[in-house]
Amino acid sequence: MPTSAVVILAIFAQSWGLADPLDRRFQDALIRFAPNVFDAPLTELPDVAVIAIDPRSLRSYGDWPWPRSRHAEAVDRLLAAGVRAIAFDIDFSSVSDPVEDALFAASMRQQGRVVLATFSQIQGVAAGAELEIVNRPIPVLAEAAAGLGSVLVPIDLDGLVRHAPRTSAIGGERIPSLARATMIVAARRDQREWIDAAQTGSDSTLVDFRRAFPEIPTLSYVDLLDGRFDASVLRDRVVFIGVTAAEFQDLWATPVAPALPGVMIQAIAYRTAVAEALGEPVLAAPSLAWVFAAYLLLGVLLLPRSGMNRYARLGIFGGTSVGLLGLAWFGIWQAGVLVPASVALILVASLYALGIESLQKRIEERATAQESSLSVLARLGDATPSARDANGRRGKPGTQGLELALELLGEVVDARGAVLLRATPHGRLTREQLEWRPPHGQSEELVVDVEIAETALEARRSREVMDPDRNHALIIYEPLGAGSDPIGVLIVFCNEGRAIDALARRTIATVGAQMALTAQNLHLIEKLRETFESSIAAVAGAIEARDGYTDQHCRRLAAFSSLMGTRLAMPEDEIRAMELGALLHDVGKIGIPDAILNKPGRLSHEERVEMQRHPEIGAGIVAPVVGLEKTTLDCVIHHHER
């Protein structure tokens, strides 16, 4: 399919909302893991603090509900500490002791800065009708409060709270949210126009969970009443009082936490409302212009790929991935726009995965060609390094060609042994060691002085020392490097009485330089293989993200397949091909409608027939991928055969 058609289909998929579930997960991940962009709390309007009715407070004061005179005492202590306003995220719709109610009402009326919560519930009744049950504070408390605020928050289809309405219809009235009602009470007269402007626009707004930072000061209710707190922490703040103990079941899944207390959500919603009133960026859904711009960029970068060589194409794909991720990052953390990028990133990752295998083969060919340059050395004849031995078996990964170079070097300089010590990128020698000894000296031990080797590598200069176990025998330590990168140290154990002339030293240096390049290329090949397999894992992650019932399923299956293949002594190449097949086996679920894939109940016959098509769909998707083994394709097409 032409790239232009793929980009157009991606635009339609994004515009129709087909990628919304995956976009939400992608955006939630950025919000959860990225660093905080708000260095300081808001200052024009008061910031927020939370008084928590936590397990320690419940143990101290006994069964709930508490006497309302206790809340009156809390109000008095908070206002004495200099708070600007108080919001109770607590249900006061039931009548208690009239004396207790009167004390609480008197405290609120005297201060005039307390907002109480209200909400409603919809219940079905006979004949399909619905009944609204309104939970408002009892009249004596409602009349004494400075305002009422709705604590209703909608829950998205995936069970997360992301939105907070500006106002809610409760009992036939439009009630502002608890956060906005509290902001109005706390604001000065000259700040009301900001707040009025912030009430315009869509009634449902996104809670800017980025504003959970800086951390909201939180104080236990029992510490407040016992006077164990620093009043300066609360001074000139708005305080939200609510339950955080798990017994109340007021815990909600959000993008930043799997169980966030409702009072903390209200506090973050307050910071969101204040930021909006001050004209600061807050989270907002993307407009069609954002979607069009993102995919226009994608099309411009991908459309000309047919005229490029494979290296240029891979560079474009990688640059596009980084660019789209950077666009999404910038959009969320600076402009506050939830940029839709999941479809684009999957598209680019798929194209990248298709091309990475061919690039890997080209680099392997280049590495083999560079190893073959050893043949120009004197007395090496026409031997050509190979990745396989005489029996056709592959060498140890990461050592192909290096053993042959050691052998050729030892024969050229007539050495009794040669050793290659590998180094880390930081220049420290590892315990990874390759050795060569002539056939007649296989039992001889080659003792390396690691301290001398490290000195030679650090100074980037050859060292020659006398062999302590042999008379008139040299040991040459040749440091290996590729540019500024340390690769290791080549150690040559010369025979007794063997003269090491300038030609032999140049040969050792030349072979060492070639071995450094070979080792670096082999490392690059392994990295590319890891990148390719990571791309396959990313596709598997996208599949698992779409089908919540099988989260981590593909990765577990790949791990079990590898373990079984190892126990069965299968060839390494076949085990790797089987692992990739396990990661990709369910890729065909991309073509199964969400209504079937995520259906909570049993599938109908027609739905089951449609679900059974996913191996066939998956085989059609992965068949064009260059370099995939037949074993991998078999895993995809046959994984439900029995």
The answer to which of 76-90, 232-246, 504-518, 536-550 has the lowest mean pLDDT is 536-550
Instruction: Outline where DSSP puts E strands in 25-172.
Output: 48-53, 85-89, 114-124, 130-135, 147-150, 163-165, 167-170
Of residues 13 and 467, more confidence is placed in: 467
* Number of helical (H) and strand (E) elements in the chain, helices listed first: 23, 18
Give the residue, 265 or 308, on which the prediction is more confident. 265
Q: What share of the chain has pLDDT > 90, as a percent? A: 27
pLDDT for residue 323: 67
Reduce the secondary structure of 549-613 to three states and give it as a string. Answer: HHCCHHHHHHHHHHHHHHHCCCCHHHHHHHHHHHHHCCHHHHHCCHHHHCCCCCCCHHHHHHHCC
Lowest-pLDDT range, 103-112, 526-535, 587-596?
526-535
Cβ count near 23 (within 10 Å):
20
- The per-residue pLDDT for range 411-435, each reduced to its tens digit, is 777 788 888 888 887 778 877 778 8
Q: Given this model, what pLDDT does residue 306 score?
A: 44
Is the pLDDT at 295 greater than 70, yes or no?
Answer: no
Residue 383: what pLDDT? 34
Residues 6+ apart with CB under 8 A from 234: 49, 78, 81, 82, 83, 217, 219
CA 605 remoteness from chain centre: 38
pLDDT tier, 301 (very low <50, low <70, confident <90, very high otherwise): low
Residue 55 has pLDDT above 70, yes or no: yes
Q: How much is the pLDDT for 385?
A: 39
The β-bridge relationship of strands 85-89 and 114-124 is: parallel
Q: Identify the weakest region by mean pLDDT among 465-469, 569-573, 632-636.
A: 465-469
The C-alpha atoms of residue 379 and residue 369 are separated, in whole angstroms, by: 19
Cis peptide before 214 (omega within 30 of 0): yes
Chain centroid, CA 369 distance in Å:
39
Among 188, 211, 218, 219, which residue's Cα sits nearest to residue 46?
188
What is the pTM (predicted TM-score) of this model? Answer: 0.54
Tell me the mean pLDDT in the region 298-317.
53
- Most trustworthy range by pLDDT among 8-12, 105-109, 255-259: 105-109
- pLDDT in the model for residue 264: 97
pLDDT band (50, 70, 90) for residue 392: very low
pLDDT of residue 82: 95
Kindly report which listed range (124-133, 224-233, 551-560, 562-571) carries the lowest average pLDDT score. 124-133
Q: Which residue has the tokens 């993102």?
A: 294
Taking alpha carbons only, the member of 65, 74, 256, 267 closest to residue 164 is 267
Q: Is a pLDDT exceeding 60 seen at residue 372?
A: no
- Residue 317 is predicted with a pLDDT of 54
H or E element in which residue 206 lies: strand 204-206
Instruction: Return the amino acid letter for 212.
Output: A
Using the predicted structure, report yes or no on whether residue 280 has a pLDDT greater than 70. Answer: yes
Q: Answer yes or no: are the C-beta atoms of 119 and 175 closer than 8 Å.
A: no
By 3-state DSSP, what share of the chain in percent is helix, strand and coil, each rounded to 5? 50, 15, 30
Higher pLDDT, 401 or 46: 46
pLDDT at 167 exceeding the cut of 50: yes
Strand order in the sheet with 415-423: 429-436, 415-423, 485-494, 474-482, 463-466
- Model confidence over 190-244: pLDDT tens digits? 676 656 655 555 677 899 998 888 889 999 999 999 999 999 999 999 999 999 9
Please give the Cα distance from 311 to 302 (Å, whole number): 14
What average pLDDT does range 382-401 have in this prediction?
44
Which of 323-332, 563-572, 588-597, 621-630 is modeled with the greatest confidence?
Answer: 563-572
What single-letter amino acid sits at 204?
S
By CB neighbour count within 10 A (0-12 exposed, 13-18 middle, 19+ buried), where does 63 fall? exposed
Q: How confident is the model at residue 455 (pLDDT cuts 50, 70, 90)?
A: confident
Average pLDDT, the chain: 79
- Residue 349 pLDDT level (bands cut at 50, 70, 90): low
In whole angstroms, what is the distance from residue 339 CA to residue 284 CA?
9
Query: What does the pLDDT read at residue 237?
Result: 95
Tokens at residue 443, please?
Answer: 């039992």
Q: Report which of residues 444 and 59 the model is more confident about.
A: 59
Q: What is the DSSP letter of 398?
A: T
Secondary structure letter of residue 303 according to DSSP: G
Output the pLDDT for position 519: 75
> Quick one: which of 85, 103, 59, 47 has its CA closest to 241?
85
Average pLDDT over residues 114-124: 90
φ and ψ of 404, to 5 deg: -65, -40
Q: Looking at residue 234, what is its pLDDT? A: 95
Whether 373 has a pLDDT exceeding 50, the answer reads no
pLDDT at 9 over 80: no
For the ranges 120-129, 577-586, 623-632, the one whose mean pLDDT is highest: 577-586
What is the pLDDT at residue 307? 44
- Cα–Cα distance, 309 to 303 (Å, whole number): 14
**Alpha carbon 348 to chain centroid, angstroms:** 17
Q: Is the pLDDT of residue 577 over 90?
A: no
